[in-house]
Structure 1
Amino acid sequence: MMEKDLSKGAEQLLNHFTKFNKFITLKEIMELFEVSRRTAFNRLSEINTYLREEGITEIQNVPNHGYKLLNDAKETLFKKKIVKGVPVENFQDLSKENRLSEIIWLLIDGHYNVSINKLSEMFNCSRNTIIKDFKAINQLFPEINIITTNRGRKLNNNERYIRLMIYELLQRNNQSIKSHIKKIGVDWNGYYKLVVDSQKSLEMDFSENSITLLTYLLIFFEWRISNNNIVTNEKDYYWIAENTHGVLTTSEGIFNKLFKGVYYSGEVVFLSKVMLCSQVMDIGCVNVGLYEDMTKISRKIVFRYEQLTNEQLANDSFIKVLSNHLYATFFRVKFHLPYVSNEVDEIKKKYPKLIQFTVIACEPLEKYLNERIPVNEIALICLYFGSGEETEYSDIGESDRIQKAALAEILLVCSSGIGTSEMLYSELSKKYPLIKFSMPLEIKDLSKVFKIKYQSKLIISTASIEKNNYPIPVIKVKAVLTNRDQVVIEDEFRKYLPLKMEHNTDVISHLMNIISEYAEINDSKKLRSDLDDFIYPNKSINTNKLNRPSLRELLTLRNIKIMHVNKNTTWLDVLHTGCRMLSQQEIIEPRYENEIVKLIKKYGPYMLISDDIFMAHASPKNGSNRVGISMVLLDNPVIIAEKNQKVNVSCMFVLSPGSNHEHDRVLEELISIVRNTEKINKILVSKDKLEIRKLML
């Protein structure tokens, strides 16, 4: 803050000078601050008097050019924390992403003339480029409201929206925004400690990423509140009070420390929501009812996923890990605080099948929330399913966990708290079955491992860690492995564990992908063969792949039935009709139908995959000879009422999974169709099998 002997108008003008590396004319000062010529001169004189007394170079006046604050004066002002922020003199040749971030920050700051001409001059680019930048900002934040005034562009959104913009940019690890927040002029370590200390009263164990994110947000919140930008009328105070304990009082305590007893109820609720929405390793602040609900939902989700994939995941430790994650998902969806991340974008691209299965598995949580779960949240949850079968979740103590990690040949590290290292574990352990990988570790665990006798040869980390701090090599990879990551990992494994390596065909594929980015491949088969001969002499690639048939191949007209429902028709009749179509082709045995009936009577209508659409299936070992599917469309719905659950069914699919995940492709395609509400509505009213098949395919 400025000293008291500098007026507010002069303070604003001095702040303005620190933002530009150019001359500012007297006319520009008069127009920008809407003051007279005399007032402008008085403020310039007041600033120069103040700078002289502080021993700082005064604002320079060059005839025919205007006024300019020299760089040495700016550096002194920032060093002494007389002004806050960061100079804009290094804004030449910025990337588009950084330029957008800087424009967003200038709009949020609100003290500057954010005009197209000024931005063009500031960033040394054309007006057309700046116009495109504003369009790109609108695409990033569709609800942003940037209005044009006689002084330039201005943000016209409420404070809550502005906070969520920064929240999203920080989640995406936006370095420009981080830099601005760090240079606001506060004690980073003090705010970091405030977040760490809050965990005790919150009964929450934040992930490392969450602690860092909350620290940035707390600094930003304090800055906004200090400038009278307040979040008001924030809802859900009473809901948080009734369903959690210690959260609201912890937020109040934080604001008491920051503002010495003066704070706003809207800010308390908003901070409480942000903390509840953070990724945690453990949470104890939710009341018994919510705790029990989330545990039940976790079990239902795992059960549905197991039924879809024929994988076995369920144990108490896995349920606990998933439940901890689901709290953050639940709170973010309920409070409408979106989750975004560059890693999640990659997950959505790389694991579309897993995401499709997870969408269906998460229906109990959607029903509990009474709204759809965003795909970004689904992508996070799918990481746990993608790793759950292989990850050695166990209730071992801290000492035993570190001892076990020390016996591993490769240490896997992650700080994100979203299960990325679990997914990494799953991928690597399947590809390199002879290598011993550690259970996923946090960064802080590494120092404990190296204090005891260890046999680890290499650290693979999805987080940035200081390589020189550890006695063994460290390689940094993406949470979702890229082709380059795969090649680097393969090379390091051959260097440090040559006897544990098997012939790995994946590395050839990754090399082919990298080569194709830079050159046109005329004969991919020959190139693949030559690469294989070079890397694996005297070995050949096993190109046999499991054939996974499509929905088009399996859902023939023979396997579609339009069934009339009368007052005596039951769901058992519908199931029998669907099973008979498959048993007549010897796709399933009669006992398969009996197993489905047992499952429904034991678990209720366990696989309602969309409104009115049920997918009946059982384990392959219970009479599934090969993959197949049938469809029974009803002219009136039937009711499945089992285990205190009651659902209407207008369409029933009977799926035979085959012996080794042959059903994955058809299931993925089917899920895509049933999530298309418009298409399903047409199918449900159709009266012709040929039309139904065309709509399905």
Structure 2
Amino acid sequence: SLLAKRVKSVQNINPLLKEFERMTGNFFTDDAFICLSAYLDWYIDRIQNPVNRLENTNVIPSNLIALEWAQKFLFKNHVVNLGEASYLINTIHSSQFDKANKEYGGIQEILPIAKKIIFRFNRIAGVNLRLDSLQVNLSTHLLATYYRIKYGISYKHPDLDLIKQKYEQLFSFTKFSVRPFEEFVKKDIPDDELALIALYFGGEIKAIEAENLKKQKNDVMIVCSSGIGTSRILKQQLEDRFPEVAFSKPYNTLSYENSSLEDIKLIVSTIKIKNRKGINVLKVSAIPGKQDWKNIESALKKEGLVKTKNPKMNIEGLLDIISEYARIENVNELKKALKQYIENSSTNFLNNKSKITNNSHTKLEEIFTKSNISFVDHANNFREALSLAFEPLIKNRSIETKYIDKIEYLTKKYGPYMMIEKGVLLAHAKPGDGVNKTDFSFLLLKKPVHLVNNNDSEAIKIIIGFATVDTSSHLEKLNDIMKILQNGKAMNNILSVSKKEQLLENSLIN
């Protein structure tokens, strides 16, 4: 009977909440509506006893529409108390809205702040969340956040630790993006509130990526740190070698973490990422070597994306043809030689395609401008080496110092993923990290420097620095650089010099 009484009491409260929605134009989410109904049932019990009521203050809340509703609610329960009316308004406002009236108090101030937050998130995350509907939806979400923080109403997210761990990058980007909102409320946003906003952004990204994946119907997802530069060349190489496989556009870590992975059978990544949904993750270099290509082909065969050839059948067929026109002296040795040839023919053919046979660029300064080429005996540490490599671009005002800071940060976070050949670092970040114009530099170190301060880490002799203002203007020059790096003779010529003059004068290809 007590439960039946409670249910009836809550049902009596529902029309009052509907009245609030009608008067203000603000509509609660389903969860918020249910929680408020249950809470207000308890609240009515509290205010029935005058001893439990708050002080009857003379301060009138600024929102007169909400005040009118609160006074009606209290009057129905035989209470006239401005202190309780103010408390009730604050409680109602701190609940999550599904739709907010643009003319209602608070939302007008939050709308331009939400726009700034979206721009900051897009810039740091390297995504393109749409502004139109997202600005209104985010403002609606932040309206309740604003009231909770303003009135000290604590919110505890039950899965905060899980979100921080599973969506580490999403959480970090959200924390950076909401700074304009923190300036507005003049308080730091608690991590529990940040988790709600992070999941909100994650939902938007997931919806976009799910739509993209559905349209593209990819078999293999490509993941890299930023989605530009070398990752686009990797995609092109993969498509050239395996034209029958559908490869996705390059995804950055954030997009990968929040994508649905629908129909994806394999993930090829240039950085270390967490495995999701039991899908195999294959880590490769940004410019794959022979072993990388073997691993990729093996993984594609395992997933049934590339057909496995039957060397035995081909060998027997070849032997039949050869025996028709020639005498075979040693069948077993010929069979062994043919088997070796068939197993390697595909790999050799593709490798030979990528080699340089004749390049129009015969000197380094025909690729890099003379002033952007440097040669030094040694650098004391990795940071100093980066600074030396990008010094010409700083002088040219092509980049800001923060661009170097970002590259150092990315290397520390993700490891040597910018190493594209042994001893060669292709140092780059995103256009928004301090790039003023597209530019390239080349640094050769006589004595290699290590990525971290110990001799067990990756040793670097060449740092190629590049900065780009977009995702395409640098690709032709970058392609020329890749051809040089993949030419053994050219690289030997570069590494054999002992001073800058030789670096400039020596032909890369004789």
- TM class by shorter chain equals 0.3 to 0.5
**Greater RCO, CA 8 A, separation 6+:** 2
TM-score by length of 2: 0.46
| TM-score between the two structures when normalised by the length of structure 1 | 0.35
